Every structure is written in C-alpha cells, then in structure tokens.
Copies of this chain bind each other. A is one copy, B any other.
Amino acid sequence: MAAPALVSLPGFRDLTPRDCARRNHVFAAWRAAAGRSGFAEWEGPTLESTDLYRKKSGEEIVGQLFHFVDKGEREVALRPELTPTLARVVAARHRDFKKPLKWFQIGSCFRYEAPQKGRLREFYQWNADIIGEESSAADAELIALGIDALRALGFSADDVAVRLSDRRIWNRFVDAAGLDPAQTTAFLQVIDKWEREKPEALDAKLRALGTTQEAVAGFMATARAADGPLAPVVADLDARGLGDFVRIDPGIVRGLAYYTGTVFEFFSLRPGARAIAGGGRYDQLIGTLSDGAVVLPAVGLGMGDVVLGNLIDETPGPRERMEAALAEVGALDAWVVVAEEARRADALRLVQSLREGGRRVDFSLAAAKVGKQFQAAEAAGARTAVVVGSEWPALKVKHLARREEVTTDAAALAATLDALLGAPLSRP
C-alpha cells in the first residue's frame, strides 16, 4: 500500500493549536451570547438517515451530501446542517420541555461542494432556535442574539448589519398581482437576484411570470415603510438599541424553500463580503418531518465559522480582540526549573501541588541544563520560573516579563505566586 499523503482530505482542516484557539474563541462568543439570552445547549448525532434530509429538502440535496450505505444496509449521511436533527428531536421529545424552547447547538457539518474561500467540506455551525412561539418577538430575540454574538467578537454597526424581509409579503404580492401560485418559487428566485441582475433582465423574467420590475420595485418601497409588515420586528430591535444594525430589505428571500415568515441575513459592510449568518421562521418544518404528528412554530439562526473567521481577520476590532484572547490561551503561570537533579522528586511534588491549586504549570521532562530550561520557559511564554535547587526548600521565583526575582520556600510558593500573578482563575 502506498504511504497515505500527510495532508487532510480536500476541504478538511487540521487545526493546530493556534487555529484551534481561534475556533475556541468563536465558540466561546457563541456560547456566551446564547447563555446570556437563556438558550440551552444541546447536540445531535453527526450521522443521520439520508431520508431526514430528503424529507426536508428534496432529492436534490443528496448531490451535496457525504452519504453512503452503512454495514447494516442503512442509507446514512453526514449532516449538512443542524436544523433537520433539531426538528426530528423536537417532534419526538417536545413534551418533555416547557415551550418556548430556546436551544442552541455548535457542531461539525459536511457538504460535498467545491472548496473555496469561505467554503469548506467540513465546517462548524452555530444554530440557535426558538420553538413553540409564533410571535414576532421570537424573530427579534434571535436577531438580537446574532447581533450580540457578533458584538461579543468585536464587530460594530460599522462592520456588520442584518437584512430583514418576510416570505409572507411575497406570498401576498403573488396573490395581489394575480401570479400563478405554483410559480412562487420561480418568482422568489428572480427576487433573490434583484441586486445582481440588470433591471432589463429582471423585467423580462418578471414579465414572463406576469408582473414587471416597476411593480415589484413599488411593492418593495411599501414593504420598507415604517408601518409595513416588518415593523414589529424592527420596533423590537429599535427598543433594544440595536436599530443601527437593521436594514429592511424585501429582496432577501433566502434560498431555502422551508422558510414561512421572517427571513434575515447577516452580512459584512465590507465590499464583496458574503453572508455571515442567516435564518428565519419555519413554522411547517416540524410538521413536515413528523407527517403532521407535531406542529410547532419555529424560528432559527445559523452562523458558520468559515466566513466569520475570514471576516475577523479582515476587520481590525475583532482581529485585535481575538489576538488578545489568544495571548491568554495556554499561558503558563509557572515553569518549574530543576536546577539540581537530586531535587527532581521535590520538583515533581511542587508541580503537582501547584496544578492541584489551579495553576498552569510545566517543566522540562528530561534533565537539561538550567539555561536550556529557562529557554524552554521563555519559549512557552511562562509568566514565572520557579527554580528548585540545592537550597531546597528555599526557592527562587523569577517573573520573566518583569525580570524580577523573589525568594520563597516550597510551603509558601502558592502564596508567592498569588502575590505575583493574582489568584488562579479557578481551582479544580
């Protein structure tokens, strides 16, 4: 057999420690924002029945799946998104929980698509959903959550915004304009390209469907009005002081066929940036997946880590906040230097007791010259070096950044470090 290539599969990532810390920085912001808003974390399986995705999205989704037949002859797929599993679990288990449910999830998803900037074959997705509440207050609560998470990462209303629309206004337009209701999806696909196509091309396509570019533009203007159908969501976000982030944009229809009401899309205000997050109301999905056994209104928000990660790198505020967070990750409180091999057992006891006190401590596993051990301490970014030598139990503690040295002894070391560094963040 040939040697396996030492690289990951195309579109998959090896997150070495710095990249993993970046991931964890984003996860922490997602978790903290969700927790502050009373969302509970849950998680489903990575692998599901392929039928779950067929049932939600139709046969065409299978072309984007990593799917196969398992050893038990089951058609299974790596999850391409989190919502179908949520709908499945809620349909089966909702009686165990008080409504509305406010749940969030962070997990890997998989799509067989051509990898490119902002798109990988395995990526992390944060979903937050409110199930069992039909009021537009739930829509606003989720949009506020998305804004909170982005602000926690350092984004401001100068960096990002959310475009807001509602599927129902387009259903009403189709009705009022006398279009063929069977053509609603085709019509929404034209609207979806509103900003990207020339007015003449749009007009031709719309005429084929029984309306005009001018009629649609006029309708959009009324939908944007202060007393229009999106007013309650906007008013809610305004009351929270988040109005600067919000743009009514009827042209946002979102590609996914299952949305039934409010739809929204977070985007960067930098030129050419892709959508960071999106979501909307899907009042029929749980009913569809359960064949009508359970019908519950629902609204959800999804944010992936790939576009977001690129945007953090490109935006000064979030980039600096991330760098500051990374500097704290893994920062060692102390490096124990074994200056006298005969004292290694004492040094080991010291390492163990500091760790048990909640300190992050490392040391040179193999015997090495004192100078080498100090180099290792510096390279690891340790805040102090604790020198165990022939004067044991007397110890020298050097604050490596301040180039200060104090003398203490083994019994008083924890207190000495508390004085130099502050108390540890947590004790085990």
Residues of A within 8 A of B (CB): 1-10, 12-17, 19-21, 23-24, 29, 32-33, 35-38, 40-49, 51-52, 54-55, 66, 68-72, 74, 76, 78, 85, 88-89, 91-93, 96-98, 100, 102-103, 108, 110, 112, 122, 130, 133, 135, 137-138, 141, 144, 148, 151-152, 235-236, 239-242, 289-291, 330, 332, 344-346, 348-349, 351-353, 355-356, 358-362, 365-366, 376, 379-380, 426, 428
Contact = CB atoms under 8 A, between A and B. Distances in A.
A48 B8 contact: yes
A45 B123 CA distance: 10
Contact of A49 (B5, B74, B332): B5
B42 A344 contact: no
Contacts of A110: 46-47
Most chain-B Cβ atoms within 10 A of its Cβ — which of A7, A47, A148? A47
Number of chain copies forming the complex: 2
Most chain-B Cβ atoms within 10 A of its Cβ — which of A38, A135, A235? A38
Nearest to A362: B38
A190 to B, nearest CB: 29
A362 B37 contact: yes
Contact of A16 (B2, B42, B91, B376): B42
A125 to B, nearest CB: 13
B428 A32 contact: yes
A362 B102 contact: yes
Given A9-B76, A428-B36, A122 B3 contact: no
A381 to B, nearest CB: 10
